[in-house]
Chain A
Amino acid sequence: MLSALVSGLVVGGIYGLLALGIVLVYKGARVLNFAEAELGTFALYLAWWGVDQRGWPWLVAALFALVAVGLVSLAFERLVIARMVDASRLSVAVATLGLMLLLLAIEFKVWGSGPKFLAAPFGGNAVSLAGVFVTPVQVFAVLAAAAIGLGLTTFLRRTDFGLGVLAAAQDATAIRLMGVPFAKVSAFTWVAAGVLGGVAALLIEPSIGAFAPGFTLPLFVPALAAALIGGLENLSGAFLGGIAVGLIDQLVRWQFVSSTVPGVQALVIFGLILVVLLLRPGGLLPAPRGRHA
């Protein structure tokens, strides 16, 4: 049970980061970014290339991968999203789906379908914490996810530019009048989404040990559920939603590990989505002040 809670926190942090990426892009472009999770796997391949083929230290390779995936994301925003301002959001969503398929195709073409192994950032034996064995990598994942989630939300709340990003979804004209160019906001949301996807993938990989094309795809739906719990537009809500979905996911798996019904966690997540949308479409967090109608 306790170990399920620990892995729930690890997975939850990952879901939280991906949910942040989903929410940011949604705020800027009003669209679900289907490529969010796969951007992470792409970064993972780049990091693997750095460590395995070039012999770089993990940290250098990871930074290289994050910068690269941020640039891929930026290029997509400039070349595709920025040109689709007037297009139906469904068409934009299909374009992000195209990006996901493109990343997958490149992974298959360049690196093949076999599993790759990326050495953990650091070793170290599991330590016993209140009777549960926890690896340093797990601790690192939880702390890093929390630090990034907190850092990002603080940055966005405390700076003018950040407030512009937060307001983008409400009114693109208003933020322009505030002196924040929408193009910069949109570019920022995509770079951040790419980097968040990359961080999420880099943090979850050591817990699993190997990866292949489409490695992070299964994380998309839980991350989406997490974003939804936060109300799709609320950053801290999305991150907390990620933790909640991670805990639920791992507890359900632990509870039903020997059940004859497969995929119970998928049923639970579907139920969660339905309940949130039908009963509290604004998310489960209390509505911020001033939003009471």
Chain B
Amino acid sequence: MTPPTSLRLPLPRGKAGALLVLAAFAILPPLLGRLGVLTDFRAVMLGFGACYAAMALSLNVLMGYAGQISLGHAALIGAGAYASGILTGRAGLPMLAGVVVAALVGAAAAFLVGLPALRLRGLYLAITTIGFAVAMEQAVFRLPWVSGGSAGVSLPRPAAGAFVFTRNPDYLALVLVFVLGFWLLDGNITRSKLGRAFQGLRENEQVAQAYGVDVSRYKLLAFVISGALAGVSGALYGHLLLFVESRNFSFLFSLTLVTFVVVGGLGSRVGVVVAAALFGIVPRMLTVFEGWDLVIGSALLVFTMARHPTGFAGALREAREKKAAEHARAVQGGGPAAEGAVPAFTHAAGARLAAADAGSAGREVVLAVRDVRVRFGGLVAVDGAGLEVPKGRIVGLIGPNGAGKTTLFNAISGFVAAESGSVSLRGRELAGLPPHERALLGLGRTFQTAGLARGLSLLDNVMLAQHRLLGYATAPALLRTGGVARAERDLEARSREVVAALGMTAHADLPLKHLSGGQQRIAELACALVTDPEVLLLDEPSAGMAPAAVEQLAERLRELRDDLGRTVLLIEHHIPLVMDVCDEVVVLNLGQVLAAGGPDEVVRDQAVLDAYLGAGFAAKTKAAEVAP
């Protein structure tokens, strides 16, 4: 079978390839320039394309990967251009200093833009970036000490050895080298935990948090990295133009940049680079059309969006994935992961705990919940509920719809704030900790609906789930040091084993939406298990499973407990499953614990019957039982 290949330019791979491209970028333009083939005009035209490509790569980190919409990116680019202009044009420092400071200024500005992102999402966040961009363009870039009293700032180009950057072909070489650097950096991001964490928060922030991703940190990190790249691309652009004024970085330019990345295909570095380069180059070639080029170009933009809303790369990717999904279905038609089968989790469970630990040492409470109260406005969803989960046991949490089961789960895992009460994991108090820290301490969970990053592949989900096992820092990840590469290779190999153990190898590289609902449930369980949590909170794992699969699920849950010594708190509506696997059952009603104890005694509890079936019905059943 052929694994789906990703969209790539036909370039040599690896370090050798990068060096080859570096040499070509550095040598060809100056050489062609000196031979008279690459005219000044053409070099500038290509320079625009290259600068736009750098800007698009910078925006792609933020919008394509992290999913944070920025409609004010030109302001960050402008900040870099002005910073470099002030340092080189006015203070006479070398261009290298200008570029470095541009990166710092861009990163700092982006950090500020990113702060509201900790509270705002989607459109609201986008609107703050618009406001920021307009304020920068109309106020900051026109401040006398920024613009130097005149209407703008000049950015000179230096000479370095054989390169005379005042010549446009030589300067083009410099910009191209930077674009290559951005390109490699982009690849390093996507192939590390950074890229997975970014995509995780794009797809589903809660899931990312449940896997231990510090969402606030990674959001700001995406802004900062994107801002630094924007600053550098701004400096490069400024030195290309030689002179900048505030209207070079208008709101309209910000929107144009968004167009590059959306038309190219969000999250595709090839797509955005090609789109940006075309936008930079083609209009300058078509000036002979005297305005018709703009009319046709914008009409084409509208048409492209209407036909291919995910952009060029998106359209190609979808076509490819569709084919691969059909292929995967054909391969696995009768395989172990066929609809309705639940594979063993033993391989998915990573390091195995000694099964002997379980159940031997009496009742050791792993998770203790006391007097938890959660209120939504006037509604008290959880009202002083408490429960204990002993080590190596499966505790069921049942109750009628609206009893507060999922809310209690969310309070335990930190997704909603409890008004009062305590949650302790192995004696450590969790109250007040954010969800990702609770995950790091060993609290694993699944979600009632969509508990995975659906746009990511199965393999990426399994790898994202192991986020907390990767200890490397950000800087080595960006540079992809040997250690990072090794850690990532090990992780991928391990994750492929997990996928293979689930019997879903053919689906490994496909987005999860191509899996059936039942298969997604299984994948989610595997992701929750893969990091060996102390306690696993499962929110209705049987939902969406075929009846036959539910029986298998029961068996797997028993294996988890008996063979792997796992501790589980289980929300279930499927009462036979609860009766079958749970050691203890807690019944929740109207936010309060109605009954707790062994499964048999709980289901005979009159209060439980009343809550589930209504008092009258329960009485009638009793009468019917007595009658004959």
Contact = CB atoms under 8 A, between A and B. Distances in A.
B134 A270 contact: yes
B119 A91 contact: no
B305 A217 contact: no
A157 B143 CA distance: 47
Interface in A31-52: 32, 34
Interface string B305-331: 110011100000000000000000000
B503 to A, nearest CB: 32
A291 to B, nearest CB: 11
Interface in A232-286: 232, 260-267, 269-270, 273-274, 277-278, 281
A109 B294 contact: yes
Contact of A92 (B128, B137, B305): B305
A57 to B, nearest CB: 31
Contact of B142 (A32, A80, A262): A262
B401 to A, nearest CB: 20
A221 interface: yes
Given A108-B291, A273-B131, A94 B139 contact: no
Given A98-B305, A270-B134, A264 B291 contact: no
A79 interface: yes
Interface in B85-138: 116, 119-120, 122-124, 126-128, 130-132, 134-135, 137-138
Interface string A72-112: 00001001100110011111101101110110111011000
Contacts of A89: 122-123
A160 B130 CA distance: 36
Contacts of B255: 34, 97
Contacts of A80: 302, 305-306
B295 A109 contact: yes
A105 B302 contact: no
B224 to A, nearest CB: 20
Interface in A99-141: 99, 101-102, 104-106, 108-109
A175 interface: no
Given A105-B295, A105-B298, A262-B142, A94 B305 contact: yes
A191 interface: no
B135 A270 contact: yes
B263 interface: yes
A90 B311 CA distance: 11
A170 B164 CA distance: 61
A90 B376 CA distance: 32
The range of chain B's interface size is: 35 or more
B306 A293 contact: no
A228 interface: yes
Contacts of B251: 221
Nearest to A91: B309
Given A106-B295, A108-B291, A108-B294, A263 B262 contact: no
Contact of A293 (B127, B310, B311, B376): B376
A269 B131 contact: yes
B137 to A, nearest CB: 7
Given A105-B291, A264-B139, A98 B302 contact: yes
A106 B292 CA distance: 8
A274 B116 contact: yes
A217 B250 CA distance: 11
A267 B122 CA distance: 22
A224 interface: yes
A281 B143 CA distance: 31
A83 B306 contact: yes
A104 B294 CA distance: 9
A30 to B, nearest CB: 8
Contacts of B137: 263, 266
Given A34-B255, A261-B139, A270-B132, A101 B309 contact: no
Interface string A221-232: 100110010001
A151 to B, nearest CB: 28
Interface in B246-296: 251-252, 255, 258-259, 262-263, 266, 290-292, 294-295
B130 A87 contact: no
B299 interface: yes
A292 interface: yes
B282 to A, nearest CB: 14
Contacts of A83: 306
B526 to A, nearest CB: 29
> Which 10 pairs between the two chains have the least Cβ-Cβ distance?
A263-B138, A87-B309, A263-B139, A91-B309, A105-B294, A98-B302, A101-B298, A98-B301, A270-B131, A109-B291
29 contacts: A80-B302, A80-B305, A80-B306, A83-B306, A84-B309, A87-B305, A87-B310, A88-B309, A90-B63, A95-B301, A95-B306, A97-B259, A99-B298, A101-B297, A101-B301, A102-B301, A102-B302, A106-B295, A108-B294, A224-B127, A260-B144, A263-B137, A264-B139, A266-B135, A266-B137, A267-B135, A269-B131, A281-B120, A281-B124
Given A87-B309, A263-B135, A277-B120, 12 more contacts: A32-B123, A91-B310, A95-B305, A105-B294, A109-B292, A109-B295, A217-B252, A221-B131, A262-B142, A273-B128, A277-B116, A277-B127
